[in-house]
Amino acid sequence: MRRSKYIRQPHLLNNGDGPRLTTSAMIASIAGPDQPTKPAPFGHTLAAIADREPRILGLSADLAKYTDLHIFRAAHPDRFYQMGMAEQLLMMAAAGMAREGFQPWVTTYAVFASRRAYDFICLAIAEEMLDVKIVCALPGLTTGYGPSHQATEDVAMFRGMPNLTIIDPCDAHEIEQAVPAIAAHKGPVYMRLLRGNVPLVLDEYGYQFELGKAQLIRDGRDTLIISSGLMTMRALEAAKELQRDGVDAAVLHVPTVKPLDEATILAECGKGGRLVVVAENHTIIGGLGEAVAATLMRSDVRPAAFRQIALPDRFLEAGALPTLHDQYGLSTGRVVSAIKGWLNE
Amino acid sequence: MTEIGHNVSLRERARRIRRNALRMGEVQGQGYIAQALGVADVLAVSYFHATNYRPEDPEWEDRDRFLLSIGHYAIALYAALIEAKIIPEDELETYGTDDSRLPMSGMAAYTPGMEITGGSLGHGLGIAVGMCLALKRKSSKSFVYNLFSDGELDEGSTWEAAMSAGSYKLDNLIGIVDVNQMQADGPSLGVMNFEPLVPKFEAFGWFVQRVDGNDIDALVGAFDAARHHDGVQPRLIICDTKMAKGVPFLEARERNHFLRVEPHEWAEALDIIDAGAVA
């Protein structure tokens, strides 16, 4: 049950238990207090590769500033198209431009691309295998503004769309590498965007993005965490904490959710005796967790146990992002406690 | 002014387009025949007066793009593409059969000359907007035609596209609305009242003409005016057409969105069309 707006919370009025977090901006930072970050890695990278690739165009539906596309717009004003607050048109126009030989990069929020513009991406773009790149902010639970802005089921919807490649990058380092790789890939791509000051995590591990490849970021004997997007950052933080408690956790990062790197997933899960945990910033239905589970079942690969860290099948509440990540199990602390609990079952 | 001889020839083109459509309909025994007969004059003027293309090279860069937003009108466009020699005539026997290049609903991947995949209604005009913007980037002189239906005026995406075309002043876009007053659930205005259409599109910044879509001379005048209009704005030709035009016993049917025609009636319909042939 969601909290009813009609029930007043008296303790909020008299500030009974000290300061509390506020929801703040629509796009809350996912960076920790002392975490290194990079500003607008998507916008800067796209602007840079567009210098040498004249086919690249940028389109937005009144959200350039909130998808970091304003960086591209400033660098290449004549190659930016404002399509108004009209996501159906955004996708149709991109399809038309791709038909004429251009490579349009369109940005909006993930809720609008998935829920509002699905038919237009499906028929006008994906069915035609057109070279359109769809880059969307606020994937999963990355805003405290409630269900209108929380794209908790975008991956489930887009996994069902043939021809569409789905990328869920972890951090600024990966976005900088993924954008040129996506540009070089011919065909439609959906990328979940982290924008603003984006954490820098994977550089520490010497990681190199490869489209279509899952990569083991760290190895471990006790449990294997398979993750995508910002949950890889949380998984790596959790692994460090678990290490201090004597738990050896491996992390397999799966930035390409579709097509899924089944060979690597099967190879890692086949190294027997480990608890496998799939962690994703997405509803438990239809995302990476179910994709991995089906892959294992189809190939008769059975890990010691299989568990999921994902958002519940509910419309989520509004609030401050750290509060919500803790409430719904995506915070590092909740990942650590969940894994410890499962290892003790 | 257009020469009379030229228009006679366009009438003959329209007659052959109707004939091709009826022959394809006969393969299936049913279909969107009434729409094809109704829009045949519009297609004749489009393909044999107002559109630049090379039959042997459907992807010629300098062609005018002709988008069929209404996927189920594929039978009508195939009939025109056959007459335009973009598709060989013998292929009409394969219409809607397995492995044919002529599926029941138009798809770009299947058919030469089919620029887009229509059928999910309300897509064509927005794709046309993107193509027009792209053609301007390429300094192309080509026009983009988008043929859509009165039913597609119900779709919100059509109006998103209409507003953006006006905002971007797309003078290389020519919209053609086939107002045949019939949708799947019945007469169009009963499904949703989209009138008054002319002031609506004018308010969106378009240069709008409304003509009898079964009057070849009127259509020639409208297409000429659309192509040569001085205003920097998108152009719309609203074509009021009659469902099943040219075959009176089919025109008379009340529910003709998807026509079922008895086997003996095909020959009867073809005889009526052939009676109008120009020697």
Pairwise CA distance, residues B208 & B155, whole Å: 20
Check pLDDT > 50 for residue A300. yes
Check pLDDT > 80 for residue B63. yes
Q: What pLDDT is attached to residue B18? A: 98
Check pLDDT > 60 for residue A88. yes
CB A286 within 8 A of CB A158: no
B33 and chain A in contact, CB less than 8 A: no
**Segment A200-244, tens digit of pLDDT:** 999 999 999 999 999 999 999 999 999 999 999 999 999 999 999
pLDDT band at B1 (very low <50, low <70, confident <90, very high): very low
Check pLDDT > 60 for residue B5. no
**Segment A151-199, tens digit of pLDDT:** 999 999 999 999 999 999 999 999 999 999 999 999 999 999 999 999 9
Q: What pLDDT is attached to residue A22? A: 79
For B36-44, what is the mean pLDDT?
98
Q: What pLDDT is attached to residue B8? A: 62
Half-sphere exposure of A126 (CA within 13 A, CB side): 19
Residue pairs spanning A and B at CB distance below 8 A: 91
Q: Which residue of A has its CA nearest to B61?
A: A100
Pairwise CA distance, residues B170 & B191, whole Å: 30
Mutate to test the interface with B, among A59, A88, A103 (most CBs of B within 10 A): A88
Average pLDDT, chain B: 94
Check pLDDT > 90 for residue A31. no
> CA-CA distances (angstroms) from residue B73 to A268, B25, B27, B231, B258?
52, 12, 16, 31, 11
A96 and chain B in contact, CB less than 8 A: yes
For A25-51, what is the mean pLDDT?
89
Q: What pLDDT is attached to residue B277? A: 80
pLDDT band at A5 (very low <50, low <70, confident <90, very high): low
A84 and chain B in contact, CB less than 8 A: yes
pLDDT band at B4 (very low <50, low <70, confident <90, very high): very low
Give A260's contacts (C-beta < 8 A, 6+ positions apart).
Answer: A214, A254, A291, A292, A295
CB B155 within 8 A of CB B188: no
Q: What pLDDT is attached to residue B3? A: 43
For B257-269, what is the mean pLDDT?
92
Pairwise CA distance, residues B129 & B78, whole Å: 24
Paired with B233 in beta bridges are none
Mutate to test the interface with A, among B62, B137, B141, B173 (most CBs of A within 10 A): B137
If we measure between CA atoms, which residue out of B66, B63, B95, B65 comes closest to residue B78? B95
If we measure between CA atoms, which residue out of A229, A317, A233, A26 comes closest to residue A143? A26
For residue B36, give the H/E element and its range. helix B33-45
For B169-190, what is the mean pLDDT?
95
Q: Under an 8 A CB cutoff, do B117 and A102 touch?
A: no
Q: What pLDDT is attached to residue A33? A: 82
pLDDT band at A13 (very low <50, low <70, confident <90, very high): low
Q: What angle do CA B126, B132, B136 make, to 5 degrees?
A: 150
pLDDT band at A30 (very low <50, low <70, confident <90, very high): confident
Mutate to test the interface with B, among A55, A83, A122, A131 (most CBs of B within 10 A): A83
Check pLDDT > 50 for residue B223. yes
**Segment B137-168, tens digit of pLDDT:** 999 999 999 999 999 999 999 999 999 999 99
Q: What pLDDT is attached to residue A76? A: 98
Q: What pLDDT is attached to residue B255? A: 83
